[in-house]
Amino acid sequence: MEKLIMLSPGRTTSINLSVQLEEVFGKYIKIEPYCLEDDLDFNIANSLVVLSSPRIIKGKIKSLVDRGLNYIIAQRVINHRYISELLDLPKATEVLLVNDRAETTYQTIEQLEALGINYIKYHPYYPGIDSYPRLNIAVTVGEPNLVPYAVKKVINIGTRQIDIITLADIARRLGLIDKLADKLSSQYVNEIIELLNQINDYAKGLKIVSSRLDTIANCLSKAILYIKNDGTILVSNQELHSILGYSSENIIGKNINDILPQITVRNHNKSEIVTIHNNTLFVTAKVIEGQNSEDGIIYIFEKSEEIEKNEHKIRRMTTRKAVKSYYTFDDIIYESKEMEKLVEKARTFAATDSTILIEGESGTGKELFAQAIHSASRRANGPFVPVNFSSIPINLIESELFGYEEGSFTGAIRGGKRGLFEEAHGGTIFLDEIGDASLESQCTLLRVIQERQVRRVGSIKEIPVDVRIIVATNKNLVEEVNKGNFRSDLYYRLNILPLRTLSLRERKSDIFVLANHFIKNYSNGKILNIEQILDNEAIKALYEYDWPGNIRQLENAMEYLAVIWQNGKKLSKNDLPEYIISGSNVSKNTLLLDILGKDMLWLLSKLKNSDGLGRRYLAEFAKNENIPLTEGQIRNLINKAESLGFVKSYTGRQGTILTEKGYAVISLINI
């Protein structure tokens, strides 16, 4: 087999299931997603096709089956990674269960109830249903676009996944069962344990332990043992039987103290090393606590040689995995009506997976909004990966975003590297300063956004990615499109849900509430509000100032005041930062810096006292001054400066010179 084809009626489902297949089989075979709208141009002679449901076998699929299509019909199960919000619903809550067809809707209800989440009352909803109750909550399996408009809360538990039985069948068809049996079963055991550790009391009755754990236990190369609180053994597997020399009949129902007296650990995530028949084993206990009869302890046994083999991988993963807490909407401080409307709009956007374009001046909190949207979305438990286009050299953008294969270029690390889009899989990627992206990288971005697939540098394999895209810029992208600096097709792809952050000038009533927040933080609680340290004239000056640097500049000012204030003395207007007092030179500096950027001002300053400089000389200056600008980036700066009328470029030795307009701009600021 050369290809594994994922085929479903809809593109979204096909891509999501391809991502799951990629995680399991991507190392061994190329995986491609197809939907019924596509031209099915793959070679059936060298492809194994996974069908998302039996109902798909009709029309052109039926003709392929008749021609000898090698296919597997996937058994689909609830994706238990995303049901935590569902588990928090009170008992007897009534919800709409939303799916694309009547059959899959009722099937999903049956699976949720079979898992033990049967304390919720589900009402089916699908396109074309004759009648349904008007409810405030809807639960959907990856189809939020089908939820009725009047529903106030949407719980998206994600596309139903391919069950382990089907994955094992695929592995057998591909001749990979010996290589993948341990990976498949370990992955499912770990996910089940993670789920059981977080579910609430209502969900403690889930049948997920007895049904699914028993199904997969014998696929493990790691020995596994599951006991009740009283020590009675409920589940074991063949690997454990081989170590002990006992059959299942001699273990199940017995007490662990009789079978394995060596094991003494009874605490969650506690471990010990035991020796059983000359096998040195590392034993970890996973405690499942609650009030249900199936509560108890899961023991996982790992052979010492396997631990040594995986030590480097584990160390690398745990080093990289840092717990991050992202901003939420509760972290956005405001009292103005304008901000209230903006936050409500952003909350609405968070409930979807559509691309968001955030525009606004520097310092207005664009990344704060992006993180808050991520935290309020169904992807909140996934990664939030920020990318700043203004800080990545042009020649590294593709490898940073999409990754690279080993040996693809000089300096590539051994084993290759995942790109930022892959790092963001299952979560949100935040593309900041998108207006600074080169036209070449814009073209590549457009393809990724359309296809939701990435190709690493030096590879021919397409990797499906499931990411929510949020972009931000302080530029007017419509003007950039008109100037030819930004692709119009990319702009329309990004501008699906537009959000414009407000400058501090547009929300002046928030100046004091923000100032009080910052001054309290920077004084460690000694100063509760600005009225405590500023006289009336100083407070008036704060309100009347334009704040060209917005919230970031206000925060800096409060930090300054917290440092210079002394107990018992109020500060006057003359004690404020100079740029607030004069409202002129330094304010203009800040405004120019926000509008033009520090790189542009650096370029103009270098040209100010010269008769003309070429790109190579400017690049040398940048290197000597530790300015992170390459010759290519300087060329882009010069092109932009010329379009603004600040410089004039010539071929040959004369290079680039400052125009009268450029000289006037640079004369306003001291660099």
* Each residue's pLDDT tens digit, 471-488: 999 888 988 898 888 999
Instruction: Grade residue 182 by pLDDT with cuts at 50, 70 and 90.
Output: low
Q: What is the mean pLDDT of residues 405-433?
A: 75
Q: What is the pLDDT of residue 284?
A: 83
Average pLDDT over the chain, rounded to an integer:
81
Separation of alpha carbons 361 and 593, rounded Å? 11
Percent of the chain exceeding pLDDT 90 equals 23
Higher pLDDT, 460 or 230: 230
Separation of alpha carbons 319 and 337, rounded Å? 44
Q: What is each CA distance from 652 to 613, 615, 649, 662, in whole angstroms?
A: 10, 11, 10, 21
Q: What is each CA distance from 606 to 196, 377, 632, 637, in whole angstroms?
A: 63, 46, 17, 13
How many of the other CB atoms lie within 10 Å of CB of 428?
Answer: 25
Q: What is the pLDDT of residue 494?
A: 93
State residue 223 phi and psi, 5-degree precision.
Answer: -75, 145
Separation of alpha carbons 522 and 552, rounded Å? 14
Q: What is the pLDDT of residue 394?
A: 67
Q: What is the mean pLDDT of residues 598-621?
A: 81
Q: What is the pLDDT of residue 219?
A: 52
Query: What token pair was written down for 591?
Result: 């405004």
Q: What is the mean pLDDT of residues 610-634?
A: 82
Bridge partners of 107, per DSSP, are none
Separation of alpha carbons 471 and 428, rounded Å? 10
Summarize pLDDT for 545-585 with one digit per residue, the tens: 889 889 989 999 999 998 888 777 888 888 888 888 875 44
3-state secondary structure of 432: strand
Instruction: Grade residue 29 by pLDDT with cuts at 50, 70 and 90.
Output: very high
Instruction: Grade residue 590 by pLDDT with cuts at 50, 70 and 90.
Output: low
3-state secondary structure of 18: helix
Residues contacting 631, CB < 8 A, separation 6+ = 615, 616, 618, 619
Q: Residue 45: which region, alpha, beta or left (left: phi > 0; alpha: psi -120 to 50)?
A: alpha
Helix H or strand E encompassing 386: strand 384-388
Q: Give the helix ranges, DSSP H, for 31-124.
A: 60-66, 84-87, 102-114
Q: What is the pLDDT of residue 244?
A: 83
How far is Cα of residue 388 from the mean position of the Cα atoms in its chain?
15
The most confident of the ranges 349-353, 461-465, 584-588 is 349-353
Q: What is the pLDDT of residue 319?
A: 33
Helix H or strand E encompassing 579: helix 578-582
Separation of alpha carbons 151 and 599, rounded Å? 48
Picking from 82, 56, 79, 85, the residue whose alpha carbon sits closest to that of residue 69 is: 56
Count Cβ atoms within 10 A of the Cβ of residue 23 and give its class: 0-12 exposed, 13-18 middle, 19 or more buried: middle
Four-point Cα dihedral 86, 91, 96, 100, nearest 10: 50
How far is Cα of residue 640 from the mean position of the Cα atoms in its chain?
33
How far is Cα of residue 418 from the mean position of the Cα atoms in its chain?
14
State residue 242 phi and psi, 5-degree precision.
Answer: -65, -40
Instruction: Grade residue 514 by pLDDT with cuts at 50, 70 and 90.
Output: very high
Q: Where are the beta strands (DSSP E) in 501-655?
A: 647-649
Answer yes or no: are the C-beta atoms of 78 and 31 closer than 8 Å: no
Higher pLDDT, 407 or 156: 156
Count Cβ atoms within 10 A of the Cβ of residue 249 and give its class: 0-12 exposed, 13-18 middle, 19 or more buried: exposed
Separation of alpha carbons 228 and 158, rounded Å? 32
Separation of alpha carbons 668 and 671, rounded Å? 10
Separation of alpha carbons 189 and 193, rounded Å? 6
Answer yes or no: are the C-beta atoms of 576 and 538 closer than 8 Å: yes
Q: What is the mean pLDDT of residues 16-28?
A: 89
* pLDDT of 312 strictly over 70: no
Separation of alpha carbons 423 and 218, rounded Å? 32
* pLDDT of 421 strictly over 80: yes
Q: What is the pLDDT of residue 614?
A: 83
